[in-house]
């Protein structure tokens, strides 16, 4: 059973972050370059996190194109976070983009607390 759940909330056709995808890949992901596509980035992120953490981490995708869960609606109404929204064990982070290193920092923090 996963100790940490990384949930990415966004729109199916949205980009993986506010910065254009370029050859520097500051996000730390390579297999999704140069798509700049959220779904491709989540897949690349999942692969990297499974390689690094194994079964200790689960990556979930919540697309809000057609239906928005109540907990996501509450987060958006209260905090107005950028999309994609990155939740770690249900807690909103300030990341606002798919970034391997930043998400790994949040995972490490969550693992220390468990």
Looking up residue 90, the CATH number of its domain turns out to be 3.40.30.30
Counted domains in the chain:
1
d(CA 76, CA 19): 21
Q: What is the pLDDT of residues 66-105, one digit of tens each?
A: 999 999 999 999 999 999 999 999 999 999 999 999 999 9
Q: pTM for this structure?
A: 0.94
Answer whether residue 55 shows pLDDT above 80: yes
Question: Regarding beta strands 57-63 and 91-92, do their DSSP bridges make them parallel or antiparallel, or are they unpaired?
Answer: unpaired
Q: Which domain does 45 fall in, by range?
A: 4-113
Q: What is the pLDDT of residue 41?
A: 96
Answer whether residue 61 shows pLDDT above 90: yes
Average pLDDT over residues 34-47: 96
d(CA 78, CA 71): 11
Q: What is the pLDDT of residues 43-52, one digit of tens each?
A: 999 999 999 9
d(CA 70, CA 64): 11
């Amino acid at each position: 059973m996963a100790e940490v759940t990384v949930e990415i909330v966004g729109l199916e056709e949205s980009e993986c972050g506010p910065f254009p995808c370029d050859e520097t890949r500051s996000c730390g992901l390579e297999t999704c370059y140069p798509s700049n596509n959220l779904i491709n980035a989540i897949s690349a992120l999942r692969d990297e996190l499974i390689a690094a953490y194994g079964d200790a981490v689960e990556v979930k995708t919540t697309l809000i194109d057609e239906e928005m869960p109540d907990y996501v609606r509450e987060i958006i109404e209260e905090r107005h976070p950028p999309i994609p929204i990155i939740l770690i064990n249900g807690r909103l982070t300030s990341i606002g983009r798919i970034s391997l290193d930043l998400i790994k920092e949040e995972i490490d923090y969550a693992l220390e607390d468990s």
